[in-house]
């Protein structure tokens, strides 16, 4: 009997009460009950995104939300900056190029955060940049980009939007849309929302809506203007993924009960304990200066192959963690601590990794990783 643990950065485990909510009989999406559900969900998404503007629900995974963030605000031939510091930063560039947007790519070394000065310089050089695309948390590297600083550069440019992929930063790290001046903020259901994959969320500022009026890129399924009109009435342009929305109602309830400051503090503490525990075991952090609170990416101790770490976790301990992606494939592994994650998930992860490292022949003081993580968690106080 080996219990199954899911420690990858999405999909993340689901709380029983969210699962229960999703098993209620299917609601039809054109009923008073569903209208009430959508309206209450919209209200609480605005709370979560910290905006008085709109947050729309899309029936797709996060990449669909990213596509919507390009096609609804830009036109063919527009110029935009993409921060490419990992697989998902590159995705911004790929989507833009697929739709004929001229993408200025900032190549950021994997593991580093973008320097806001680089963004400032490019914005100076290219007065006609219509949008800056970046990640709040680059899931492939575990880096948190300095969103606040970049948003401050964009804020006072009436012709430029600040667009953030918050797939693993919304509900994980502070990122108040209105206060910081984020114009478009995308997230997905299988991360901090503690739901299965299948919903994307997109916050849209008033400034972004004015861009939408002039956007000529083609779109139909991801037409945010149409969604805004229907979701404002508690409906949706097309069929809603009703079971996921029923689960979303419950996961938002849980988030509201915990409160944003506590959510952010919890994620920060779990991330710190994970980092310190892994370093104590001889791992090297990929993100040395700007770590994400959602996921920690590390190089394994010398002599240990990253691929062996994830496969042994899986085979011997029935634990799913994540390896590296694209150019980091086979070089790193990643441990997530977001969503329905608590102190003892970190203890479990570090304990399992100690066992795996031992099995793979790495020498270290047995228990040092667990003890280190434990001390951080204990010092963190109540969660």
The residues in 63-102 that bind a copy of itself, with binding defined as CB under 8 A, are 63-64, 66-67, 94-95, 98-100
Are the beta carbons of 358 and 276 closer than 8 angstroms?
Answer: no
CA dihedral 298, 5, 48, 17 (to 10 degrees): -170
Angle between helices 32-49 and 242-258 (to 10 degrees): 40
The residues in 198-217 that bind a copy of itself, with binding defined as CB under 8 A, are 198, 217
Nearer to a copy of itself, 19 or 360 (CB): 19
Angle among Cα 213, 217, 221 to the nearest 5 degrees reads 90
Does 256 sit near a copy of itself (CB under 8 A)?
A: no
Question: What is the nearest approach in angstroms of a copy of itself to the Cβ of residue 320?
Answer: 5
Question: What is the nearest approach in angstroms of a copy of itself to the Cβ of residue 318?
Answer: 11
The residues in 9-48 that bind a copy of itself, with binding defined as CB under 8 A, are 10-14, 19, 22-23, 25-31
Count H helices and E strands in the chain, helices first.
14, 15
Does 254 sit near a copy of itself (CB under 8 A)?
A: no
CA distances (Å), 332 to each of 299, 303, 337, 376, in order? 5, 13, 17, 23
Strands 143-144 and 129-135: unpaired
Helix (H, G, I), strand (E, B) or coil at 335: strand
Does 137 sit near a copy of itself (CB under 8 A)?
A: no
Nearer to a copy of itself, 4 or 156 (CB): 4
Does 221 sit near a copy of itself (CB under 8 A)?
A: yes
C-alpha to C-alpha distance for 317 and 198, rounded to whole angstroms: 28
Number of residues that bind a copy of itself (CB under 8 A): 52
C-alpha to C-alpha distance for 57 and 224, rounded to whole angstroms: 10
The residues in 293-332 that bind a copy of itself, with binding defined as CB under 8 A, are 314, 320, 322
Nearer to a copy of itself, 33 or 159 (CB): 33
Kindly list the residues in this chain that would bind a copy of itself in the complex (CB under 8 A). Answer: 4, 6, 8, 10-14, 19, 22-23, 25-31, 59-64, 66-67, 94-95, 98-100, 188, 190, 196-198, 217-222, 238-244, 314, 320, 322
């Amino acid at each position: 009997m080996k219990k199954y643990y899911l420690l990858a950065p999405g999909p993340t485990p689901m709380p029983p009460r969210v699962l229960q909510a999703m098993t209620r009989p299917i609601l039809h999406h054109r009923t008073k009950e569903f209208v009430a559900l959508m309206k209450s969900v919209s209200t609480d998404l605005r709370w979560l995104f910290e905006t008085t503007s709109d947050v729309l629900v899309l029936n797709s995974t996060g990449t669909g939300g990213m596509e919507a963030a390009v096609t609804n605000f830009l036109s063919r031939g527009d110029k935009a900056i993409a921060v490419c510091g990992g697989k998902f930063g590159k995705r911004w560039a790929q989507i833009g190029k697929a739709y004929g947007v001229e993408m200025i790519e900032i190549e950021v070394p994997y593991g580093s955060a973008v320097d806001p000065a680089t963004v400032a310089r490019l914005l100076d050089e290219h007065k006609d940049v219509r949008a800056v695309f970046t990640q709040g948390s680059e899931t492939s590297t575990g880096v948190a980009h300095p969103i606040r600083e970049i948003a401050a550069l964009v804020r006072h440019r009436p012709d430029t939007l600040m667009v953030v992929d918050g797939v693993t930063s919304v509900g994980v790290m502070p990122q108040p849309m209105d206060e910081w001046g984020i114009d478009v903020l995308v997230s997905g259901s299988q991360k901090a929302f503690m739901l299965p994959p299948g919903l994307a969320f997109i916050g849209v500022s008033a400034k972004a809506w004015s861009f939408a009026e002039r956007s000529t890129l083609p779109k139909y399924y991801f037409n945010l203007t149409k969604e805004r009109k229907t979701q404002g009435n508690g409906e949706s342009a097309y069929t809603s993924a009703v079971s996921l929305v029923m689960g979303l109602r419950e996961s938002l309830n849980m988030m509201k009960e915990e409160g944003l400051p506590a959510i952010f503090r919890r994620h920060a503490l779990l991330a710190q304990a994970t980092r310190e525990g892994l370093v104590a075991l001889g791992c090297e952090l990929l993100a040395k200066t700007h770590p994400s609170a959602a996921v920690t990416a590390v190089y394994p101790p010398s002599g240990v192959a990253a691929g062996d770490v994830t496969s042994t976790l899986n085979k011997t301990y029935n634990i799913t963690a994540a390896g590296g992606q694209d150019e980091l494939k086979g070089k790193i592994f990643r441990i997530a601590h977001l969503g329905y994650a608590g102190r003892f998930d970190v203890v479990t992860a570090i304990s399992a990794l100690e066992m795996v490292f031992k099995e793979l022949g790495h020498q270290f003081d047995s228990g040092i990783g667990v003890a280190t993580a434990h001390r951080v968690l204990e010092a963190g106080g109540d969660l």
